[in-house]
């Protein structure tokens, strides 16, 4: 790896790490406080809606952000085309979920879920407004700006969530925390990135980007559906409380694995894209990233599985102990996530979204 590429990569990893772990650490502390104030049932109600939010994010992005990052000669027309497409999809999805909310509530047998779904899905619109800004900052490997936006949003939304939980708002504390976080983050990305869309839309640009991104969309929908089958089945067959235990276990296991992998993914993708035509160099850099992720994540996940019961007892209290048994199992599956994610990154760099 050349010195300049090393410097860019190191700086990118540093700021991406600061963003991930500062934000996640704050959210982790906030989650502990709120979990002591709220019940597993409150978390279970929000967990039942996870698949709708996850699928909507896949549809809004449609692989366009990765296509923009990968494209070497992207134009303002490309950026604006993706922006307006995201907005249209975001509003269409929110309308669909708003109409279908009563049916979802009937499926789970929880009438109160209808209003919760209609409110929490407003986050879909917030997400659709910031895809291009985030992609352009990633192209520049500017994670410092993203870190500032995420950190400010996490602190303000966390304070709001804790205040509402303390005053007895239950599940609405979680809903408001999520919406405030997304809203402030989106607003700050607009302010910090200084990018504004042009009044133009190009079908030619859309087709070019979609030819790459559509395959990532198909993969994303498949992956999202697979990952969210568990919350659907647990919420339907068991109870909101059981689902609450599962979602907390999943969040604890994802903290080390997904965050470290996410840091490496975000940095390695634009870095590897910059050397995509030098196969030998690409191969060497890819191997270094793969080894680094495994050396860090494998010991962390094994250690977390070993201390899961005392950890949950100390952090969340006795009412969450079933979460510890689930955490042990999920830790061993999350060990392999970095290898899976970085391999997929390389397929995107090589333009093989069909294999992805």
Helix (H, G, I), strand (E, B) or coil at 111: coil
Contacts of 327 (CB under 8 A, 6+ apart): 249, 252, 253, 304, 305, 308, 311, 312
Listed range (168-177, 274-283, 295-304, 327-336) with the worst mean pLDDT: 274-283
SS (HEC) of 9-45: HHHHHHHHHHHHHHHHHHHHHHHHHHHHHCCHHHHHH
Give dist(CA 338, CA 342) in Å, integer. 6
Average pLDDT on 22-49 reads 86
The total of structural domains in the chain comes to: 1
218-242 pLDDT, tens digit per residue, is: 877 888 888 788 888 888 888 888 9
246 in a structural domain: yes
Contact 44, 235 (CB under 8 A): yes
Average pLDDT on 93-110 reads 93
The Cβ of residue 352 has, within 10 Å, a number of other Cβ atoms equal to 12
191-202 pLDDT, tens digit per residue, is: 998 888 988 888
| Residue 51, phi then psi, degrees to nearest 5 | -65, -35
| DSSP assignment letter at 318 | G
Kindly indicate the confidence band of residue 10, based on its pLDDT and cuts at 50, 70 and 90.
Answer: low
299 in a structural domain: yes
Instruction: Provide DSSP, 201-246.
Output: --HHHHHHHHHHHHHHHHHHHHHHHHHTHHHHHHHHHS-HHHHHHH
Domain residue limits at 330: 3-349
- What ranges in 38-168 are assigned the alpha helix state H? 40-47, 50-61, 64-70, 76-108, 113-120, 123-128, 131-139, 143-166
Helix (H, G, I), strand (E, B) or coil at 302: helix
262-311 pLDDT, tens digit per residue, is: 777 767 677 777 777 777 887 887 788 778 878 888 898 999 999 999 99
| Residue 199, phi then psi, degrees to nearest 5 | -90, 65
Give dist(CA 121, CA 53) in Å, integer. 7
Q: What is the pLDDT of residue 307?
A: 94
Kindly indicate the confidence band of residue 27, based on its pLDDT and cuts at 50, 70 and 90.
Answer: confident
129 in a structural domain: yes
226 in a structural domain: yes
354 in a structural domain: no
Kindly indicate the confidence band of residue 22, based on its pLDDT and cuts at 50, 70 and 90.
Answer: confident
Q: What is the pLDDT of residue 191?
A: 92
Average pLDDT on 52-67 reads 79
356 in a structural domain: no
Give dist(CA 94, CA 129) in Å, integer. 13
Contact 188, 153 (CB under 8 A): yes
SS (HEC) of 238-270: CCHHHHHHHHHHHHHHHHHHHHHHHHHHHHHHH
């Amino acid at each position: 790896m050349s010195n300049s590429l090393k410097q860019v990569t190191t700086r990118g990893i540093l700021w991406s790490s600061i963003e991930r772990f500062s934000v996640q650490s704050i959210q982790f502390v906030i989650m502990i406080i709120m979990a002591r104030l709220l019940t597993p049932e409150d978390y279970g109600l929000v967990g039942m809606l996870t698949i709708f939010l996850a699928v909507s994010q896949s549809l809004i992005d449609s692989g366009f952000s990765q296509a923009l990052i990968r494209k070497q000669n992207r134009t303002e027309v490309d950026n604006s085309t993706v922006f307006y497409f995201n907005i249209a999809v975001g509003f269409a999805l929110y309308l669909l979920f708003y109409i279908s909310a009563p049916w979802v509530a009937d499926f789970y047998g929880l009438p109160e879920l209808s209003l919760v779904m209609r409110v929490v899905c407003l986050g879909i619109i917030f997400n659709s407004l910031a895809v291009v800004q985030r992609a352009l900052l990633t192209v520049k490997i500017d994670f410092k700006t993203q870190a500032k936006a995420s950190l400010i949003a996490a602190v303000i939304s966390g304070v709001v969530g804790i205040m509402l939980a303390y005053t007895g708002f239950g599940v609405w504390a979680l809903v408001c925390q999520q919406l405030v976080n997304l809203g402030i983050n989106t607003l700050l990305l607009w302010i910090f990135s200084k990018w504004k869309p042009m009044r133009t839309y190009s079908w030619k640009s859309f087709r070019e980007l979609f030819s790459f991104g559509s395959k990532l969309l198909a993969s994303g929908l498949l992956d999202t559906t697979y990952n969210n089958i568990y919350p659907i089945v647990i919420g339907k067959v068991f109870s909101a409380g059981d689902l609450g235990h599962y979602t907390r276990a999943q969040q604890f296991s994802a903290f080390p694995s997904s965050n470290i992998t996410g840091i490496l993914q975000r940095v390695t993708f634009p870095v590897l894209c910059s050397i995509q035509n030098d196969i030998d160099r690409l191969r060497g850099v890819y191997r270094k990233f793969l080894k680094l992720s495994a050396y860090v994540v494998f010991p962390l996940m094994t250690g977390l599985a070993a201390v899961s019961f005392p950890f949950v007892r100390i952090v969340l209290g006795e009412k969450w102990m079933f979460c510890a048994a689930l955490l042990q199992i999920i830790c061993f599956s999350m060990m392999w996530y970095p290898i899976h994610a970085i391999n997929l990154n390389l397929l995107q760099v090589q333009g093989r979204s069909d294999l992805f």
